[in-house]
Amino acid sequence: DRENVTISYQPGALPYPPVKLLNPIEKKRVLVTGGAGFVGSHLVDRLMLMGHNVICLDNFFTGSKANVAHWIGHPNFELIRHDVVDPILVEVDQIYHLACPASPVHYQSNPVKTLKTGFFGTYNMLGLSKRVKARFLLASTSEIYGDPEEHPQKESYWGHVNCVGPRACYDEGKRVAETLAYSYHRQDNVDVRVARIFNTFGPRMNWNDGRVVSNFILQALKDEDLTIYGDGKSTRSFQYVHDLVDGLILLMNSDCKEPVNIGTQQEFTIDDFAKTVIDLAKKENGECSSKLIYLPALEDDPQRRKPDNSRAKEQLNWEPKWNVVDGLAETLKYFKTQLEERV
């Protein structure tokens, strides 16, 4: 009964996945920046299935054409290679602004570019929203809370960010992106929505993503030891990507102008998370000989993270439908297929 399934592309398999036929008043022109990335491509899928016209814009830094290949040539779909650091003009009704590397490995590889994407990318997309009167949704992050002193984190918490540390290019980039959004709202009446996204995983995470979910799954599938940075006692609350996509679409189409946390209450220590992945790999493969190995902790790594998601429940009627372990099992199957295809 879940409408949210991952579409897998079979080369040469036409026709396209079945899209809804909308009347012209309901049918929107939607721009998704970062649409060829992990979250963006699932959002593009859902918007396409809903029957909208979708423009997917990406510079393919961490995303790939393969993530949206199943839509190429569809009359409702357009793919544009573009970097949001440069302005662009397209006539649209809604903009989901996701373009930004999200994994610490990628966003720290070129911190100045990450900051330029955070500031100029958001500035350009807000300028576009102002000009064409499109509603704008920013994919912000739980990372704006930094290493939080409040637990769980409410939207009213101002955060605890080291502005000169290695994560600052991302954290401060997203913080200034939020500031830009609300400044455009106050000054020019741009219609803005801000989603503070907590750790999300699922199929189509980049192979070399470097975040904990893809690292652990790949290590477990290859019988390698799982690399734990620090003592394994830090926590994260994980959500499956289809729940996030539900939340983003509900927020975009709601009247809620305040920032909204989108994340689950399913908080794991990294140790327990690693053990869960090993158990799932055992179920999938019959065996898994991986162990946990402990490496030096990362600088400024947030120690605890869990959203207070009551605002999303009250204002959007949003609640996660997926259990994290079920979502992990799906993701593990996805990576297993990828591994087999690469052999």
Residue closer to ligand NAD (CB basis): 85 or 176: 85
**By the 8 A CB rule, do 55 and 44 touch?**
no
Q: Does the protein bind ligand UDP through residue 290 (CB under 6 A)?
A: no
Residue 319: both structure tokens together: 């609640």
Which of 30, 54, 55, 84 lies at the binding interface for ligand NAD (CB under 6 A)? 84
- Minimum separation from the CB atom of position 144 to ligand UDP (A): 12
* In the block, residue with structure tokens 């939207």: 155
Measure the N-to-C terminal CA separation of the chain; round to a whole number of Å.
Answer: 34
Element (H or E) spanning 30, and its range? strand 29-33
Residue ranges of alpha helices (H) inside the chain are 38-50, 104-107, 111-116, 122-132, 168-188, 212-221, 241-252, 270-285, 310-316, 324-342
Please return the burial class of 23, using the count of CB atoms within 10 Å of its CB with bins 0-12, 13-18 and 19+: exposed
Site string for ligand UDP, 117-156 (x = CB under 6 A): ----------------------------------------
By CB under 6 A, residue 228 contacts ligand UDP: yes
Q: What does 84 interact with, of ligand NAD, ligand UDP, none (CB < 5 to 8 A by kind)?
A: ligand NAD
**What is the set of active-site residues?**
170
Q: How far apart are CA 173 and CA 339, in angstroms?
A: 34
What does the DSSP assignment read for 189-246?
---EEEEEE--EE-TT--TT--SHHHHHHHHHHTTPPEEEETTS--EEE-EEHHHHHH
Q: Which stretch binds ligand UDP (CB under 6 A): 3-11, 74-82, 122-130, 211-219?
A: 211-219
Residue 249 binding ligand NAD, by CB under 6 A: no
Distance in angstroms (rounded) separating the CA atoms of residues 149 and 141:
17
Please, which of residues 7-36 interact with ligand NAD by CB under 6 A?
33-34, 36
Site membership for ligand UDP, residue 234 (CB under 6 A): yes
| Consecutive H or E run containing 56 | strand 53-58
Partner from ligand UDP, ligand NAD, none contacting 59, C-beta within 5 to 8 A by type:
ligand NAD
Question: Any residues with CB less than 8 A from the CB of 25 and at least 6 apart, and which?
Answer: none
Binding mask 108-147 for ligand NAD (x = CB under 6 A): ---------x---x-----------------x-x------
State which of residues 31, 40, 77, 328 lies at the interface with ligand NAD (CB under 6 A).
Answer: 40
200 binds ligand UDP per the rule CB under 6 A: no
Give the residue with the Cβ less far from ligand UDP, 215 or 264: 215
Q: In this structure, are residues 194 and 181 in contact, taking their beta carbons and an 8 Å threshold? A: yes
Query: Rule CB under 6 A: which residues touch ligand UDP?
Result: 104, 199, 211-212, 215, 227-229, 234, 236, 270, 298, 301
Give the interface with ligand NAD as residue ranges (CB under 6 A). 33-34, 36-40, 58-63, 83-85, 98-102, 117, 121, 139, 141, 197, 199-200, 206
